[in-house]
Structure 1
Amino acid sequence: MEKETNPLGNNIKAVVFDCDGVMFDSAEANRRYYDAVLARFGKPPMDEQDFAYAHMHTAFETLERLFGSGEGLKKALQAAKDLTYFPFVRLMRMEPYLMHLLTWLKPNYHLAVATNRTNTMDAVISEHGLTGFFDLVVTSMDVKAPKPDPGQLYKIMEAYSLSGDQVAYLGDSVVDEQAARTAGVKFVAVANPNLEADVHIKMLVEMEDILGRQ
């Protein structure tokens, strides 16, 4: 039987993961964290529009949306710093097939993370037993601007001297799509059929079959 064509091409050398919505279901953790900050100021919990925004953007951008600019934002940033996200990391739920997929990928691919998280990614990796899997973790703190700016992906490409057709980026949001398009990497949309992508998957388990066609 003829081997199926790989929709990502046959030259992938690095697999890059977004964090929230791809590696983890962080909905409960994110909602409880931002709602806790809001509660400190007597504000109601996030509505669904704010929650969707928080899923894709940095903590600073989210707090700016929730509190506006000026003194309100300054106080919110301090409250968020005092509260810290770290107690909420344990509420993040790892996607069921992630560990198996990383174990399968590790011998043959560079593995990296490109996320709009800031200072919490090390804790996420440590808390959930992922230490040692990723060669490079790039957060919004490591580049001049968060996604959709392509800086995170450019940094990963430069680190391993790779061209766009050698990188597969797994993301689930429009900011991931835009970053991938600008950087010229192959984009895998995870559980979001509304995005433009080279490949759409519903679950991470599908990546083993796709990359196995190389």
Structure 2
Amino acid sequence: MSDGMPLPWPFPWSFPNPASSLSSIRTSALIALEIEPGKNASDQPFISAVQEAAAKLSEKFSTPLPVVKAAELYLIQALGEPIASPMAASKDGPLVVFPPEFLFVLDVGLEHLVGGSVIWETALPGYGDPEFPWKKEIALRSVRERTYRGLVYPAIAGSLMIGLVDGTDLSQIQQKLTDFGLQDVAGFGFFATANCAPFEEASICKKLENEFDFVKYAEMNNVVRIIDFSPGWSLTRLI
């Protein structure tokens, strides 16, 4: 799929307000995460929550998650042009037009890096997110590389898109895909979706293409983001 946030897309925030400034979001979130400057990222408090979520997904496929070797934290923000309004957080700099995303990246020695995305959502103008991060759902991502594209547009962990050769009967191939190790196989005519062992999706896709004649292509299910605004999506490493 194309790059971006999984559908359905979120609606833009009702900005501007005092909580929309870049510095206030970054500062408030780091305080909530109890991030300690200079401390090893893998020892930070919330890293264990991301690791546990990834381990739980891996266990569904009988593939234990290796020990975390290193960890990083990135801030992903959708930045729009400032609005001429007395309520605007900043008339000189860009505004955050979608809920900011904090992406934890763990290196566990697998093919892809483990990503854990947590969204910061301001409930009321001028206030922080009282549920961040511990009461937030962790969206697991499979990060192929530490680049802008790899981090801002990762894949949904363990999710595959499989193109089928014309005339393929899903009922006849579903068991073969299940025996291969895939789960939740569903067909939609000319393609199928399925879940696989996370953080090794690229290799699994190659095996599917090489092993089965009815597979036209197999690819990771990338996140989709709205891009019709500027300056656009920014990426900042925090730890």
Normalised by the length of structure 1, the TM-score is: 0.23
The structure having more radius of gyration, on CA atoms, is 2
Greater strand share, structure number: 2
